């Protein structure tokens, strides 16, 4: 991954970043000439009052809304189908997603189904969405998933107990209003999990087989920002500087992974989310050190850059020492912010490991991992992380 790169595309939505960005929602809805928006959120976000406040501003401008908040963590295909029916029955012409990764992924799926007339499962894979979705505006309330700027949409196929990845240009929202003030209500555990999700995005994008100099810049900066601000954001939820730093880290990690794709950590985490409905950020945080250690020999200089950005590398360390130092440092960091120790806390039965590994091997994210794994090796990695 050094030397001359082949052609690379960099795609991103229009982004407004900063405190108060959410108040531009009405302006952008009017810019798209929308008359009736489906507002996709979840009950937890709605309980904060944020959704109702923003909807009220739309109503004042004469814009109708229908709220759909039947979204769970690890959003399900049946929820996307239900939301699509609401969109069509209400004659909506645009989508506003307010929340974390789950409402935003669900909103993307609803948009695909509404304009393409096909079931969400049919879009699994890369570039399977033929017609553009309706105009979509995202207002993220967590700092980590980056669904607000990425070309990924992750949906739980309940029939197969499998998380599917939809990767398409149509999955990139038209506008992201990224407002750090929207994250102040996040509890420490969610701040930690989503922050480690962003760190995993940055690590995997930097060592991806399709990384580029542009994605590298964003990935390394995201790692530096997370190292500087995540612990503060977990310990002091009202720290405005830390919240802004983490929102910027999430955005930069999103720019990186949306264009460089991901790797084996996410492939394995998606498998866990589909089979066990496990928390995505926590799965990534637990798996990341193990995959760094397993991948290290394939891209040692890249991991040296990441270790330096994360503040745990010294010049001249031998590869074997640095490899173990990264493993220990990442584990210690996760545990220091309250991430559970091992997959066993998620009620993962070891008997499921072959099924989990088989599913992970079929995940699209495995294609850009710097090392090619066998299913037996993935099974060993699940065992190590247990």
Task: Go through 141-164 and write b for each residue having 16 or more CB atoms within 10 A of its CB, e for each that does not.
Answer: bbbbbbbbbbbbbbbbbeeeebbb
How far is the C-alpha of 58 from the C-alpha of 9, rounded, in Å? 35
Distance CA 330, CA 206 (A): 16
Where does the pLDDT of residue 277 fall: very low under 50, low under 70, confident under 90, or very high at 90 and above? Answer: confident
- Per-residue pLDDT band for 345 (boundaries 50, 70, 90) equals confident
* pLDDT score for 113: 97
Place of tokens 């760190």: 199
- Does 314 have pLDDT greater than 90? no
% residues pLDDT > 90 (the chain): 91
* Residue 296 phi, psi dihedral angles, 5° rounding: -50, -50
Instruction: Report the largest interatomic distance among the alpha carbons of the chain, rounded to a whole angstrom.
Output: 64
Q: Is 178 within 8 Å of 251 (Cβ atoms)?
A: yes
Q: Which residues contact 323 (CB under 8 A, 6 or more apart)?
A: 292, 293, 296, 297, 300, 303
Q: Is 56 exposed, middle or buried (0-12, 13-18, 19+ CB in 10 A)?
A: exposed
Would you state the pLDDT for residue 1?
45
Helix axes 300-309, 188-207, angle to 10 degrees: 140
What would the pLDDT profile of 55-75 be if each residue is shown by its tens digit? 999 999 999 999 999 999 999
- Which residue reads 């709220």 in tokens? 67
User: If you average pLDDT over residues 139-152, what whole number do you get?
Assistant: 96
What's the alpha-carbon Rg for the chain, to the nearest Å? 20
Span 365-376, pLDDT tens digits:
999 999 999 999
Q: pLDDT digit string (tens) for 241-254?
A: 999 999 999 999 99
154 vs 282: CA distance, rounded Å:
16
Q: Could you report the per-residue pLDDT of 74-100, keeping only the tens digit for each?
A: 999 999 999 999 999 999 999 999 999
Write down the pLDDT at residue 220. 98
Instruction: Please report the pLDDT score of residue 316 as a whole number.
Output: 80
Mean pLDDT value of segment 251-274: 96
Helix residue spans in the chain (DSSP H): 25-31, 43-47, 50-60, 77-89, 101-116, 188-207, 213-235, 240-260, 264-276, 280-295, 300-309, 319-336, 353-361, 375-385
Task: Provide the Cα torsion 300, 264, 118, 87; round to 10°.
Answer: -90
Nearest to 304 by CA among 322, 321, 320, 280: 322
- CB count within 10 Å of CB 62 equals 9
Q: Hey, which of 153-167, 196-210, 309-323 has the most confident mean pLDDT?
A: 196-210
Structure token pair of residue 254 = 């999103």
Provide the pLDDT confidence category of residue 2 given band limits of 50, 70 and 90: very low
With beta carbons less than 8 A apart as the criterion, state whether 269 and 287 touch: yes
- Asked whether the beta carbons of 253 and 205 are under 8 A apart, the reply is yes
pLDDT at 4 over 90: no
Q: For residue 91, give the 3-state DSSP assignment.
A: coil
The structural domains of the chain, ordered by start, are: 14-183 (3.40.50.1970), 188-385 (1.20.1090.10)
pLDDT reported for residue 3: 53
Contact 152, 165 (CB under 8 A): yes
DSSP of 310-360: TT---TT--HHHHHHHHHHHHHHHHHHTT--SSGGGGT--GGGHHHHHHHH
Confidence of residue 6 (pLDDT cuts 50, 70, 90): confident
Q: Nearest to residue 51, comparing CAs of 32, 71, 35, 31?
A: 71
């Amino acid at each position: 991954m050094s030397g001359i790169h082949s052609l690379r595309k960099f795609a991103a939505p229009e982004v407004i970043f900063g405190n108060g960005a959410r108040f531009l929602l009405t302006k952008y809805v009017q810019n798209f000439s929308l008359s009736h928006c489906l507002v996709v959120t979840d009950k937890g976000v709605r309980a904060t009052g944020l959704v109702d406040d923003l909807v009220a501003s739309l109503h004042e401008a004469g814009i109708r809304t229908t709220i759909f908040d039947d979204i769970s963590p690890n959003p399900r295909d049946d929820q996307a189908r239900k939301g699509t029916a609401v969109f069509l029955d209400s004659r909506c012409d645009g989508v506003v997603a307010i929340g974390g990764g789950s409402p935003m992924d669900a909103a993307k799926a609803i948009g695909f189904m509404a304009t393409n007339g096909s079931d969400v499962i049919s879009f699994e894979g890369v570039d399977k969405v033929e017609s553009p979705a309706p105009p979509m505006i995202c207002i993220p309330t967590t700092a980590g998933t980056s669904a607000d700027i990425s070309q990924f949409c992750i949906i739980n196929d309940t029939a197969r107990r499998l998380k599917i990845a939809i990767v398409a240009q149509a999955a990139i929202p038209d506008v992201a209003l990224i407002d750090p003030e929207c994250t102040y209500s996040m509890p420490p555990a969610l701040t930690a999990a989503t922050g480690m999700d962003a760190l995993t995005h940055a690590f995997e994008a930097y060592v991806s087989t399709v990384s580029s100099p542009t994605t590298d810049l964003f990935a390394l900066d995201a790692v530096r920002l997370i190292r500087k601000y995540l612990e503060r954001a977990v310990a002091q939820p009202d720290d405005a500087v830390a919240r802004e730093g983490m929102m910027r880290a999430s955005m930069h990690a999103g720019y990186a992974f949306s264009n460089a794709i991901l790797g084996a950590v996410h492939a394995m985490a998606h498998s866990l989310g589909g089979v066990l409905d496990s928390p995505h950020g926590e799965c990534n945080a637990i798996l990341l050190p193990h995959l760094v250690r397993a991948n290290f020999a394939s891209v040692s200089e890249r991991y040296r850059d990441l270790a330096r950005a994360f503040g745990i590398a010294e010049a001249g360390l031998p590869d074997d020492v640095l490899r173990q130092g990264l493993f220990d440092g990442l584990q210690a960091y996760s545990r220091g912010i309250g991430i559970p120790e091992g997959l066993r806390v998620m009620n993962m039965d070891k008997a499921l490991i072959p099924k989990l590994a088989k599913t992970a091997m079929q995940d699209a994210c495995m294609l850009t991992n710097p090392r090619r794994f066998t299913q037996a090796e993935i099974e060993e990695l699940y065992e190590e992380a247990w």
